Structure 1
Amino acid sequence: MRSITSSPEVLERYVSDVDSSDSEDFDHKGKEKESGLSYLSKCKQRDSDPVNDKPRKMFNHSYGCLKYDYNIIQDLVKGIKDSVLTSNNLHYDYSKLSLEQIEVFNFFKSQLDLASSNSNIGVRRVIIQGKAGCGKSYLIHCMKQLAYEHGGPDSCVVLGPTGVSAKNIGGSTIHSFFRLPTRQSYFKRLVGQELHSFQEKHKNLSVVFIDEYPMVGCKLLAMIDQRCRELKDSSLPFGNLIIYLIGDIYQLKGVGDKALYDNNNPDQWTSLAQLGKAAISSFQKAFLLTEPQRYTDYTYSNFLDRLAVGMCTEEDCQMINSRHISRLTECELKKFEHAIRICSINEDVKEFNNEELMKVDTGIVRINAQNNCSTAFKSVDTYASGLANVLYLAINSRVMLKQNLNVSAGLVNGCLGYVTDILYDEGEKPPAIPRFVIVKFDNVDGYPYLNGGVPIQAIHCSWSINNISCSRVQLPLSLSWACTVHKSQSLTVELCQMNLGETDFELGLTYVALSRVKNLSSLVLMKPISLDHLNCVKRSRMFVERENFLEWLRQLN
């Protein structure tokens, strides 16, 4: 497969102001695909096709100083974390809750009533298991609103494991709220002034909601448990706070962590993972939500239920493959021309982003990261919190933010937008890092001075490998006409192209991808899916472990 960051032979023909020497460290081939609907409808792999030789516009790197006052933009950058670019003052109507949701809501209300009267609450740790589209987010909003009515906004916090999940529920990320390191091996207890400030800031906290709980692995849950104990200076599980875990166990587990349902040789796990296993075992009650609220296509909803447990039929296989690209008319395909593509593997994501970048006729800019040593230069992006060694951008390119800038405003890791300006200081040019990249993000009201855009600057990331201190400076952006299934997990999209490969390499991959849309007509498959692929979850060792976990939840119900 070809990728943006390793395809200079093709890309450099379109990139502005880049010397040939800039590409010497990369030695892979690239390719150009035909653009527009013709490519989407044919979807052919054309490895030998020549690059289109038509003249392309060169990027004008000097226009920014004339168009904007950089001092104003710099002030906007400084205020991003404190800005309120969007607001959500919605009132949630409790009467719109379903019967299943009302049962949970009333139970939570009884907990708050007991707490208000200083009575023994009894059950404090609850799991809400709900399949995709059953209204978990609306229920969380209603319960949060009720908690605010009882104890004020300081009494309750809503958290998510990722920026997108936190944004969806109007909350914060788990890591930022609990002051957790991104690398679990760096976790340590809070002490001294740091502990005191944490306790003082959240002294009125009594309720914690954690959404997308399957992404919270055993090690992360152990860290949450420890922080709650520190907050309340208590030896009881989660500091005796009221804790709700909400989500769908059929979703993907957290990366680099043990799934909460994993029971494979726990005696060989790290001590942190073992503590997390004990923490999940301390939960006392569960609610199972099964009524679909999001889906208008109940045939599709029922199909997803069977997909989750590997019980799809030949009819299901025929139904889903009716959305293969070869089966759709030109008129149907046209509405998917700008839809996001969800892929199971990174190589397919990079290849499609490469293809789409080639179509942009505003001049492609190569941006080299600043690495402090050769070890940092050779490090993969994951070591550097997703910062790319080489980033290609263009005005009008589709991008994803790779850092949480302001969760309440929607500027989170995973939010999408379009580049509207690439601004260099006077005398600077590619492949240097621009002073600012202006991005107009979806569903975010940016700054009027930037026509609704938000200024993004390079960030610094440090890590160590074999006692070698590494650092990288780069823009926290990536091309995102396509994204991985993992990155899409908290998204619901109106339209979607999907490339799901031959089989799942992780339990629940296809289920998560196909549940990003509300109905069958909202997706187009780039490759057909076999019945064996649809039912491949049963071949996973973790399938049985997950079913056992669900049975435990039923017993707690």
Structure 2
Amino acid sequence: MENENGLSCSVKIEWLNTQGIVHRNFTHKSAYLRLIRSNVREIFIEASAPKSAAIKLQLKGISVHKKFMNEGKASIKFQDINCTMYLSNAPPNQLLGFLRTMFVKMTGEKSNNANTSLRTQLLSNKPKQFEEISPVTCVEIDRAQAKASKATDTTPSPLSKKRKLSPKDGTKGPAAKKLYSSSPIPNEPLDIEQKEVMEACLSGRNVFFTGSAGTGKSYLLKRIIGALPPDVTTATASTGVAACHIGGITLHQFAGIGVGDATLERSIDLASRPGSATVWRKCKHLIIDEISMVDGAYFEKIETVARKVRRNDRPFGGIQLILCGDFFQLPPVGKSNNPVKFCFQTKAWDSCRLSTYELKRVHRQSDDEFIKILNKVRIGQIPESMAQRLAATSKQKIEKNGILATRLCSHTNDANVINESKLEALEGDKQIFVAEDSDPHLAKQLDQQTSVPNRLELKVGAQVMLLKNINLAAGLVNGARGVVKSFEDGFPVVRFRNKEHTAKHERWMVKTAGGATLTRKQIPLKLAWAFSIHKSQGLTLDCVEMSLGKVFEAGQAYVALSRAQSLDTLRVLDFKASQVWANQNVLDFYRSLNLQLETMRLIPLGRKQTTKSGIKPIKRIMSMKGMNKPLVTIN
């Protein structure tokens, strides 16, 4: 478990005089912060760095600016001494935990200070002694949450919309309850196999982790991103939508060589331009999501580019690689008549010496029968009994409360035609919602990297899909289906399966290769009579229909079927076993991987320990016997 009392990051501390001029400062790129307590119960934050004396600042009368916390940045202003501490390049998850711990401890301390014993006050004349603050307890968290809506020394209540900030209010920060509200940084505890992957990534090893659809690969990836220093970590994905989902950029944007059509020499020249070269040389951790859709030739090219631009002969120029994806899902888009080449078919893949893991626990579906069917479909094997079960869904009525099933199409154009024609067929006037983009000239880039449209046309009765997690407990999640009931105050009122909701503007943020941020503000809805299989990756659909007669890629049927939440919310028309197949190269890759893993099936992990018999325990981490079992077993 991460120590939430300590934080490694870049620190800058400035002390101002009465004229507002800096008269003292402390700056260090690799500092360590910890929360400590004096022998008279005062809480301090200590900043230490190599070859520098530690600085202790009392946490009293402070305000915290945490708007950019998910980027690893925050500032703490000590108003009583006119001093500000600036934090940057902090692993976002650790920063969130550190600030939360600071708030919880100070909230609990407020009531204690008023009743300080006489003995404690007398001790205050002695030299101060310090000790590290104990970890936060559940009782302290509950107490802090109960007080979050009330004003405290550190986090006053939010101001009323009708009342502006006056000099008497001071310059204190936003309400601390935001530390407990929804955050871009996931905070659910990791299970055993996820922790195994996390530890491997934080140890600096090159890692490839895989798993079937719905096993939480992207969720874990967000946690990994949040545990690494932002300034030297680049999160990328093979597609724009996948990149937006993890808060990153596309691999093509990062590489600086376009789509890779240029020769290797020309590609090296393009990546050696000042802007691109700086990005390559600054990166220490490169994350690539949906690695299955990255063309093998492109992967080899950027590996060579990395070595040349970084002037380092190690694989990828010494950058740590963290790859995520499932090769049984959608493959790379083939160019002209050339056969598809996967990343694992390249010498670059072998040279990276990737530690491989598989997530086995399925989170999207809870129906064991459906999970077994999907596991068979994934590897291109569908027994007759399972084929009959899928075919039987064609007679299911899955519509509810006027919400029709979303039709998954193998081609994007087919989905667009269906949506446009269905909308035109509805009576009534259209309501048009145009997105507010931070840079209108980059609207096309935002179209490619976000799931939300620039121009949204709706009518009463339109079938829509929610594109943002609004309320998990109420089922208002990304992919939830609904129908437009009315328009109130210019906003669509949507009836979802379990709740009515007025959809108001939400914000999407997209990063550029240079570190800038583009934003799009739009109603979080999209027409959902039909959707393409490619665009559905990462979604969980609670009412979906499909015809797989036009599938043209291996894994396409599996991706489509695995979007469904359960067999009861799925309707498959004219299903045939011939519509399901897996790429032979992928099957061979996983079989060869099985042989490699079997040779290293038993290896010691963790600290060296000795049992009563004197034998050091050995932990089994990987096994795969046959394609009908998981790739990796972690016990």
Partner of residue 553, structure 1: 593
Return the match for 2:574 from 528, 532, 538: 528
Do residues 356 (structure 1) and 381 (structure 2) align?
Answer: no
The secondary structure found in structure 1 opposite 2:575 is coil
Return the match for 1:442 from 467, 477, 502: 467
Structure 2 CA distance for aligned equivalents of residues 410 and 145 of structure 1:
26
Return the match for 1:419 from 456, 459, 471: 456
Do residues 321 (structure 1) and 391 (structure 2) align?
Answer: yes
Structure 2 CA distance for aligned equivalents of residues 209 and 295 of structure 1:
27
Deviates more, 1:211-220 or 1:188-197: 188-197
Do residues 173 (structure 1) and 250 (structure 2) align?
Answer: yes
Return the match for 1:97 from 181, 190, 205: 190
Return the match for 1:305 from 352, 370, 375: 375
Query: Deviations for 1:496-552, whole angstroms, at most 9, x for unmatched residues?
Result: 2212216x4211111011111232223223x22023434x44xxxx32x21111123
Contact persistence 2:257–2:267 (CA under 8 A): no
Residues 441 and 97 of structure 1: is their aligned pair in 2 closer, same or farther, counting only changes over 3 Å? closer
Shift of 1:169: 1.5
- The normalised TM-score by structure 2 is 0.49
Partner of residue 499, structure 1: 547
The secondary structure found in structure 2 opposite 1:128 is strand
Residues 397 and 483 of structure 1: is their aligned pair in 2 closer, same or farther, counting only changes over 3 Å? farther
Structure 1 CA distance for aligned equivalents of residues 465 and 545 of structure 2:
23
Query: Deviations for 1:214-256, whole angstroms, at most 9, x for unmatched residues?
Result: 0011122123313432452223221111101111111111112
Flag the structure with higher helix content: 1
Task: Give the structure with higher Rg (CA).
Answer: 2
1:270-281 to 2 correspondences below 5 Å: 277-281=346-350
Shift of 1:301: 1.4
Structure 2 CA distance for aligned equivalents of residues 259 and 358 of structure 1:
42
Shift of 1:171: 1.5
- Structure 2 residue runs without a partner (length 5+): 1-181, 471-488, 492-503, 508-525, 598-621, 623-635
Partner of residue 63, structure 1: none
Residues 501 and 411 of structure 1: is their aligned pair in 2 closer, same or farther, counting only changes over 3 Å? closer
Shift of 1:440: 11
Partner of residue 295, structure 1: 365
Partner of residue 464, structure 1: none
The secondary structure found in structure 1 opposite 2:545 is strand
Residues 243 and 254 of structure 1: is their aligned pair in 2 closer, same or farther, counting only changes over 3 Å? same
Residues 98 and 417 of structure 1: is their aligned pair in 2 closer, same or farther, counting only changes over 3 Å? farther
Query: Deviations for 1:278-332, whole angstroms, at most 9, x for unmatched residues?
Result: 21222312112222233222221111001112322233123222321x332xxx3
Structure 1 CA distance for aligned equivalents of residues 556 and 465 of structure 2:
30
Contact persistence 1:340–1:497 (CA under 8 A): yes
The secondary structure found in structure 2 opposite 1:251 is coil
Contact persistence 1:352–1:481 (CA under 8 A): yes
The secondary structure found in structure 1 opposite 2:185 is coil
Do residues 164 (structure 1) and 241 (structure 2) align?
Answer: yes
Shift of 1:350: 5.0
1:327 maps to amino acid: Q
The secondary structure found in structure 2 opposite 1:419 is strand
Contact persistence 1:212–1:248 (CA under 8 A): yes
Residues 546 and 515 of structure 1: is their aligned pair in 2 closer, same or farther, counting only changes over 3 Å? same
Do residues 516 (structure 1) and 557 (structure 2) align?
Answer: no
- The normalised TM-score by structure 1 is 0.55
Contact persistence 2:209–2:323 (CA under 8 A): yes
Partner of residue 224, structure 1: 302
The secondary structure found in structure 2 opposite 1:219 is helix
Residues 177 and 192 of structure 1: is their aligned pair in 2 closer, same or farther, counting only changes over 3 Å? closer
1:198 maps to amino acid: S
Shift of 1:178: 1.9
Contact persistence 1:357–1:397 (CA under 8 A): no
1:195 maps to amino acid: R
Structure 1 CA distance for aligned equivalents of residues 419 and 444 of structure 2:
26
Contact persistence 1:92–1:145 (CA under 8 A): no
Return the match for 2:200 from 98, 107, 112: 107
Q: Give aligned-pair identity as a percent.
A: 26
Contact persistence 1:416–1:441 (CA under 8 A): no
1:229 maps to amino acid: R
Residues 398 and 444 of structure 1: is their aligned pair in 2 closer, same or farther, counting only changes over 3 Å? farther
The secondary structure found in structure 2 opposite 1:245 is strand
Partner of residue 319, structure 2: 241
